[in-house]
Amino acid sequence: MMPSIALVAHDLKKEALAAWAKRNERALARCALVSTGTTGAVVMETCPSLDIRRMKSGPLGGDQQIGALIAEGAIDALIFFPDPLTPMPHDVDVKALLRLTLVYDIPCAFNPRTADMLVAGGLLDG
């Protein structure tokens, strides 16, 4: 069964996530991918071969939609590149998403090096 990976990034980190996805495009192609709306658009522009199910934009409920998928057992891991230096108006939604990853023991990566370690550990192999 193919792993289901959620991709999320704050505005100033979307390009970094897209670059990471490009480096891991072959492995990600073997996964069911879901993302917040704008993040998915940026990743799809960089990696047009990837099939990504896009939710709403994070501030419009996309973080909550991905959180619901985690609660339903439909997400195996979260790759989330947050911007720690920019205040987020939807900070409460982000905290709720991260809380659910803890409650449901979902592996998370918050930067490219950690995401690389999840890939090296076989996360995308199913």
Task: Say which of 51, 63, 76, 83 is annotated catalytic.
Answer: 63
Q: What average pLDDT does the segment 72-91 reach?
A: 91
Tens digits of residue pLDDT in 19-33: 999 999 999 999 999
Tens digits of residue pLDDT in 100-126: 999 999 999 999 999 999 999 998 886
∠ Cα 58 67 28 (to 5°): 80
Taking the complete model, does pTM exceed 0.75, yes or no?
Answer: yes
Residue 3 host element (H or E):
none
What's the rounded Cα separation, in Å, for the pair 115 and 112? 5
SS3 49: coil
Is 125 catalytic? The answer is: no
Report all structural domains of the chain as residue ranges with CATH numbers, in order of start.
4-125 (3.40.50.1380)
Q: What average pLDDT does the segment 82-110 reach?
A: 91
Residue 111 host element (H or E):
none
